[in-house]
A = this chain, B = another copy of it.
Amino acid sequence: MARGKPRLRVGVVGATGIVGRELLDSLQRRKFPVGELLAFSSGRARQTVRFNSRALPAPGVDERALASCDLVFFVSADEVSERLAPGLARRGIWCVDDSSAFRQDPEVPLVIPEVNASALARDKKLIAGPNCTMTGLAVAGWPLHRRVGVRAVRLASYQAVSGAGKAALGEFFSQTRLLVTKLDSSGKAPLLAAAKAQALPRAIAFNVIPQVGGFDEKGESSEERKVAAELRKIWSAPALAVSVTAVRVPVVRGHSLAAWLTMARPTSPVEAGPLLRAAPGLTVSKEGDYPTPLTCKGPGPVYAGRLRQGAAADELCVWIVSDNLQKGAALNSVQIAEELLKRRWLAA
């Protein structure tokens, strides 16, 4: 930690969840100037978390303790954020919310710092981070939208199970362990297909599931709606046409996207390549190479490859990978807080 930096009282609500642990890890790795860390579990079970090599208690939420913080990260359920964040923000406490509760609230900035840090405002103490699925596209497509203009987006996702939380991950692991002894080319997996999926709508081991969240009357899943609405808000592009097929795949960590971008005018990969390579937060693979969830090279935190012409001269295709737990959640929240520090809006 740099000397002389303010040392803040930082609350983390949901510290014992998958994203919570990643958040503590990010704060530590990035040397965020934490003076005191108050960790809270969003559940009732008494747990501990590790931060800077120390075990900290993570009791249930204590509203009085939260009110003593300079900054509170919410990495828990929508309901928890809804109940606590607006009150704290009114009292002048910066709240960085990773839930989807306030993302579409016009009074709440929805921020990916590489894209729209300009949406932050000194008097808007409650700030939302985006859905983990659209983050990669929002970062990778941003230079194209800013410099040329994107009219329409079609997106197929390959989403890791960790994005669905601990219970889904446990289900995935136990299904995999059950099936791994029975693997053969028939691939029929009757046991697994019959196994009752609980946290996810179908068995996920050795399968793909084109459902992330519930369906609306138009047949779109809540994840697909979130991606569309949040991309429009973050890019300030209310007229952007967005069509998404959100699919869960048997990957532990790392969301991938196959994206088609319809540009405002014919745009070649030769023109688009340098724009992408100059984009903050984006690492573009060399020609012939590409990122995968297990093999991302370079600083990131978003990775792109396979930039090529799409179905017409005004369409580009690109493959995008980003860490759903970090850039899609924990890291983005910490980057937002760093932006507040940089502007000196947040000080101990």
Q: How distant is the Cα of A153 from the Cα of B156 in the complex, in angstroms?
A: 14
Residues in B neighbouring A251, C-beta threshold 8 A: 187, 206-208, 250
Q: How distant is the Cα of A249 from the Cα of B298 in the complex, in angstroms?
A: 23
Asked if B256 and A308 make an inter-chain contact with CB atoms under 8 angstroms apart, the answer reads: no
Instruction: Indicate whether A336 reaches chain B with its CB closer than 8 angstroms.
Output: no
Interface centre among A169, A209, A210 (most CB of B within 10 A): A210
Q: How distant is the Cα of A231 from the Cα of B79 in the complex, in angstroms?
A: 48
Instruction: Indicate whether A59 reaches chain B with its CB closer than 8 angstroms.
Output: no
Mask: chain A, 70-88; 1 = CB below 8 Å from B; 0 = not: 0000000000000000000
Copies in the complex: 2
Please tell me which one of the listed residues B218, B242, B247, B306 contacts residue A311 in the complex, with CB atoms under 8 A apart. B242
Residues in B neighbouring A241, C-beta threshold 8 A: 311-312
Asked if B293 and A183 make an inter-chain contact with CB atoms under 8 angstroms apart, the answer reads: no
Asked if A269 and B187 make an inter-chain contact with CB atoms under 8 angstroms apart, the answer reads: no
Residues in B neighbouring A160, C-beta threshold 8 A: 187
Known: A166-B185, A260-B154, A312-B152. A245 touches B292 (CB 8 A): no
Interface centre among A156, A173, A192, A290 (most CB of B within 10 A): A156
Q: How distant is the Cα of A74 from the Cα of B183 in the complex, in angstroms?
A: 27
Please tell me which one of the listed residues B186, B192, B254, B308 contacts residue A218 in the complex, with CB atoms under 8 A apart. B308
Residues in B neighbouring A293, C-beta threshold 8 A: 187, 206-208
Closest CB in chain B relative to A202 CB, distance in Å: 5
Instruction: Indicate whether A4 reaches chain B with its CB closer than 8 angstroms.
Output: no
Q: How distant is the Cα of A153 from the Cα of B18 in the complex, in angstroms?
A: 38
Instruction: Indicate whether A287 reaches chain B with its CB closer than 8 angstroms.
Output: yes
Please tell me which one of the listed residues B154, B184, B211, B215 contacts residue A310 in the complex, with CB atoms under 8 A apart. B154
Asked if A245 and B18 make an inter-chain contact with CB atoms under 8 angstroms apart, the answer reads: no
Please tell me which one of the listed residues B21, B207, B269 contacts residue A219 in the complex, with CB atoms under 8 A apart. B269
Interface size on A, residues (CB 8 A): 70
Closest CB in chain B relative to A323 CB, distance in Å: 9
Mask: chain A, 303-322; 1 = CB below 8 Å from B; 0 = not: 00111111110010101000
Please tell me which one of the listed residues B210, B249, B269 contacts residue A290 in the complex, with CB atoms under 8 A apart. B210
Instruction: Indicate whether A148 reaches chain B with its CB closer than 8 angstroms.
Output: no
Binding site for B on A (CB under 8 A): 18, 21, 152-154, 156, 158, 160, 162, 166, 169, 173, 176-177, 180, 183-189, 192-193, 202-203, 206-211, 215, 218-220, 241-243, 245, 247, 249-254, 256, 258, 260, 269, 287-288, 290, 292-295, 305-312, 315, 317, 319, 325
Q: A173-B180, A208-B256, A243-B315 are in contact. List 20 more A-B contacts (CB 8 A).
A: A154-B260, A180-B180, A184-B252, A185-B252, A185-B325, A187-B253, A187-B293, A189-B252, A189-B294, A193-B294, A202-B294, A210-B290, A210-B306, A219-B308, A241-B312, A242-B311, A243-B260, A247-B256, A249-B249, A249-B250
